[in-house]
Structure 1
């Protein structure tokens, strides 16, 4: 890779929750497969209705697993189901809409492979290129991150990022419950609760090419309020 040596027994599990991404799914898979890192891909279709579901079978191969959910439950539920199929040493979450660039995988993985971190967050707010979009969406993200930091005692700049990378053992004993976008604050809160030893958390910059709502962006104001609820809930309750 030029930056570090990947161990011979290393395998990355790329978990991709999918819902109505017919426009993007072929390209995101092409880009993920091009990353020169040993990996498996787990696609979890959350009962798509736009033809995505019918497209997915063509992508199945020895390194690509496809799970078809029978009910639409949301991103968090899709991730829980996808995690159960992971056989890699390290797991990364990849959204299916290419807002996040798989070319960032090497820099995201480096702290883990060099044994400096157990969990890595990819931050959209610390230096890499990004598409300029909604001001209030950015403000909401930063407010939620600050509130999360206050209750977890972490100092993240982007708690809401899709790019969360972690050793598989991080999930052991972690009872994830959130079905929708509440996964982000729940995962963060439960990472922070681990003590003796605590999980080592790193943050690295990633690029970001955000979508407009016309292009299919799904997260909305309701999800912001739910994230706020989850920040408080998972600090004080399981």
Structure 2
């Protein structure tokens, strides 16, 4: 089974669309799906949208959890990861920036016995990539390079949403970052697992503008630098 962790904050308008995509994808290897949605105290009707979707699709294995206060994306992921039961686990944002049809691209190296962890890179391969912010792209590449300097990995996209893990491996980590620092923290800590096999595959990216609901900002970039150094030096 593949556990699909979906952190959601004010995604009333799009969460049913991403759930349709998750529902419709046919996984290779005969895998089934466990969908875990964590509502991080949304101020819109995300809860109602999920409830209506569950009622309309009772055949889906959807588990729903809600935070009573807004804690951040990382905290929502912690909640979802702790409750996952599938052999494999993948992170899926509730917006439409990433395509669940590409789960199988990430699963292939794991199911073939080559990988324990697979990152989906927006910066390699020939998949569609929406053209948006120059400085945002430069920032992503800078953070990835800085992370690589501490982890001694050669990733091209450390900040990607699509990260697939063997469930027991990620559940063995003690994760602390409650917001977007999750990405550098989990990368640093997963890289230190003895004999871990990390792969990367190209994925498409249908990015959003801030008017369309994108939430990450420059303060999160500053925090990411702090986290790269902190966890790179094993201070957390």
C-alpha distance in 2 between matches for 1:177 and 1:231: 13
Superposition TM-score, scaled by structure 2 size: 0.94
Partner of 2:159: 160
* C-alpha deviation, 1:125, in angstroms: 0.2
C-alpha root-mean-square deviation of aligned residues, in Å?
0.9
Mapped to 2, the partners of 1:113 and 1:83 lie a distance apart of 20
Runs of 4+ with deviation above 6 angstroms: none
User: Per-residue deviation at 1:146?
Assistant: 0.1
Q: Among residues 98, 110, 113, which one is paired with 2:111 in the alignment?
A: 113
Q: Cα deviations across residues 99-123 of structure 1 (Å, max 9, x unaligned)?
A: 0000111111100111100000000
How is 1:13-52 mapped onto 2 (pairs within 5 angstroms)? 13-37=3-27, 38-52=32-46
Cα distance in 2 between the residues matched to 1:178 and 1:82:
14
Q: Find the aligned partners of 2:53 and 2:12 in 1 and give their Cα distance.
A: 13
Match of 1:213 in 2: 210
Task: Tell me how far 1:88 sits from its aligned partner.
Answer: 0.4
Equivalent residues in 2 for 1:76-225 (5 A)? 76-127=74-125, 128-195=127-194, 198-225=195-222
2:82–2:171 Cα contact (<8 Å) kept? no
Provide the rounded CA distance (Å) in 1 between the counterparts of 2:201 and 2:83: 27
Find the aligned partners of 2:167 and 2:98 in 1 and give their Cα distance: 21
**Which residue pairs with 1:227 in the alignment?**
224
Deviation of 1:172 after TM superposition, in Å, equals 3.9
Q: Is the aligned partner of 1:75 residue 2:73?
A: yes
Segments of 5+ residues of structure 2 without an aligned counterpart are none
Tell me the distance in 2 between the aligned counterparts of 1:58 and 1:234. Answer: 40
Aligned partner of residue 146 in structure 1, secondary structure:
helix
| Structure 1 Cα separation of the partners of residues 162 and 82 of structure 2 | 19
Alignment CA distance shift 1:164-1:54 (3 Å) = same
Deviations 1:190-212 (A, max 9, x none): 011112xx210000000000000
